[in-house]
Amino acid sequence: MPEQSGDPFAVAAASAAALAERTRQTQHDVAVVLGSGWAPAADALGPAECEVPLAELGGFPEPRVPGHVPAVRLVRIGGLRVLVFLGRVHLYEGHSPAAVVHGVRTAIAAGCATIVLSNAAGGIRSGLQPGQPVLISDHLNLTGQSPLTGLSLTGDGPSPFTDLTEVYSARLRTLARERDPELAEGVYAALPGPQYETPAEIRMLRTAGADLVGMSTVLEAIAARHLGAQVLGLSLVTNVAAGLSDQKLDHGDVLATARTAAARLGALLATILPEVG
């Protein structure tokens, strides 16, 4: 599938219709995007009623990052119809913002009012430990891109001048902390990648108020808020950010840390999800 062109909402509506045909559901409630290393947590969410390769839905580019399986599952959790996206696509793979947020727009077109975004992140704030899940309280979009660029300012759709004062729902964060009182919160800074940061960049990010650093999530969160969906963000700290320890960063280590934490992450999601729909 070539990179999207034309009306991204029409493409999402077509993907949602193709999805509904395969899940045999006219309505879905919650979407979960499992980021780097979170995919092994999918099985802890329960059996899939069906699993659909994203390539069958149209509008999705082929992901090319090891560790990402391009499919979406339908899982019933506490009476909710949850769409679990196994993997996502990233700007650093050369994809457009529209391609990056296509899954979220498709999920919302399929009826989801709540979007749960997970990712792997480097820990900037001292005390954040590899293997630890952290609720995202806010973000710094340092990708230089927006999924809302170029949208009509005068058409029928929601205004692209989207309010971002509460991207990550305070209500959902409170619910998540009630389920797991040990959950820390932090501000997530997104850079375009794919290279990891320099120690100087990490010092800059810390001064700018970032607790976590990664290469995803923020464009999807913006796209979800533009369409009025509620967002819950969860980072898994896979490493201490560059220059804050004597370790060098290695993508294999990042994924290995995530795999080790997968069971805990799955259990965490399974306790939170029934509450958030």
The residues annotated as belonging to the active site are 36, 68, 90, 92-93, 120, 215-216, 239, 251
Is 273 in contact with 82 (CB distance < 8 Å)? yes
Work out whether 188 is an interface residue with ligand HPA (CB under 6 A).
Answer: no
| 214 touching ligand HPA, by CB under 6 A | yes
**C-beta closer to ligand HPA: residue 101 or 241:** 241
Q: Is there binding between residue 8 and ligand HPA (CB under 6 A)?
A: no
CA distance 62 to 135: 29
Q: 122 or 186: whose CB is closer to ligand HPA?
A: 122
Give Rg (Cα) of the chain: 17
Q: With binding defined as CB under 6 A, does residue 261 bind ligand HPA?
A: no
When the beta carbons of 16 and 221 are compared against ligand HPA, the nearer one is: 221
In the chain, alpha helices (H) = 8-23, 97-100, 102-109, 170-179, 199-207, 218-226, 251-276
CB 238 to ligand HPA: min, Å: 5
Q: Does 14 bind ligand HPA (CB under 6 A)?
A: no
| Residues 6 or more apart in contact with residue 168 via CB below 8 angstroms | 135, 136, 137, 138, 139, 221, 231, 232, 233
At closest approach, how far in Å is the CB of 174 from ligand HPA? 26
Choice from 29, 197, 201, 220 touching ligand HPA (CB under 6 A): 197
Binding window for ligand HPA (CB under 6 A); candidates: 57-65, 81-89, 117-125, 147-155: 117-125
Q: Are 62 and 1 in contact (CB under 8 A)?
A: yes
Burial of 27 (0-12, 13-18, 19+ CB in 10 A): exposed
Give the DSSP per-residue string, 89-115: --GGGT--HHHHTHHHHHHHHTT--EE
How many binding residues for ligand HPA (CB under 6 A)? 13
Query: Distance between CA 124 and CA 208 in Å, rounded?
Result: 11
Contact pattern for ligand HPA over residues 44 through 83, marking x by CB under 6 A: ----------------------------------------
Residue nearest to ligand HPA (CB): 122
Q: Give least dist CB 210 to ligand HPA, A.
A: 11
Secondary structure (DSSP) of 33-63: EE-TTTGGGGGGG---SEEEEGGGTSSPPPP
Which of 40/122 has CB closer to ligand HPA?
A: 122
Q: Strand 212-214 to strand 114-123: parallel, antiparallel, or no bridges (unpaired)?
A: antiparallel
Q: Tell me the β-bridge partners of 213.
A: 122, 189
Q: Is 249 in the site for ligand HPA (CB under 6 A)?
A: yes
Write out the binding residues for ligand HPA, residues 122-181 only, by CB under 6 A.
122
Least spacing, CB of residue 199 vs ligand HPA, in Å: 11
Q: Residues interacting with ligand HPA, by CB under 6 A?
A: 120-122, 196-197, 213-215, 238-239, 241, 249, 254
